[in-house]
Amino acid sequence: MKITKDVIRAYFGEGAKVWGFGGHFRVTTRTGGEVVIGPNQIKVILGGDDVHRACTLLARDKWGGATVRGSREFMLGAVAHGEAWGVNIRADHSEPGAAFLRGLVFVGVVVVGLMMGGGQDATGMVVTLCVAAVVWWAMKQSAKREEQRKREQMGFHYPRVDGTAGAASHDHAKREGWV
């Protein structure tokens, strides 16, 4: 599906003002919401339930779902809207520059290993690369643990992991002593 002004108006309503050129659009809704839509992303500047609903449904029809980044509150709201409208919305807690940093550290470990004489023979080179790979792997595992901690801290039960949303609600009610 190609995003056009008519498609955007279908989701945001006829009262929405749409400006755009070359596949990039800025939408202002009647309720004061503001959204920037590009070929690969939707960025909510300001908006309430109507804006989030429209963005969620547009993401479903355009990409089949979405991955959201941002503040804890924004991600929680986006995932909840996705859950309510049956759209696969995944919260991404990863740090944007983490992969680059891991690569930089990998190269740094290799350079230091070569400076210490690790490249003089095949065994030294293999050891240097293995040490660099272990450091890279340890950094990746640490990042995964940090993402998991942030997911748990967010407080939203991910149905794809913990069962259905109803089951998550029932489990929460049980823990609170309501059931």
3-state secondary structure the chain: CCCCHHHHHHHHCCCCEEEEECCEEEEECCCCCEEEECCCCEEEEECCHHHHHHHHHHHHHHHCCEEECCCHHHHHHHHHHHHHHCCCEEECCCCCCHHHHHHHHHHHHHHHHHHCCCCCCHHHHHHHHHHHHHHHHHHHHHHHHHHHHHHHHHCCCCHHHHCCHHHHHHHHHHHCCCC
Cut 0.75: pTM above it: no
Q: Give the tens place of pLDDT for each residue, 149-160.
A: 877 777 665 544
Please state, in angstroms and rounded to a whole number, the distance separating the CA atoms of residues 158 and 153: 12
Asked if the model's pLDDT at residue 167 lies above 60, the reply is no
pLDDT of residue 31: 87
Average pLDDT over residues 36-43: 87
Please state, in angstroms and rounded to a whole number, the distance separating the CA atoms of residues 162 and 89: 15
Q: Give the tens place of pLDDT for each residue, 98-155.
A: 889 999 999 999 999 999 987 788 888 999 999 999 999 999 999 888 888 877 777 6
pLDDT of residue 162: 44
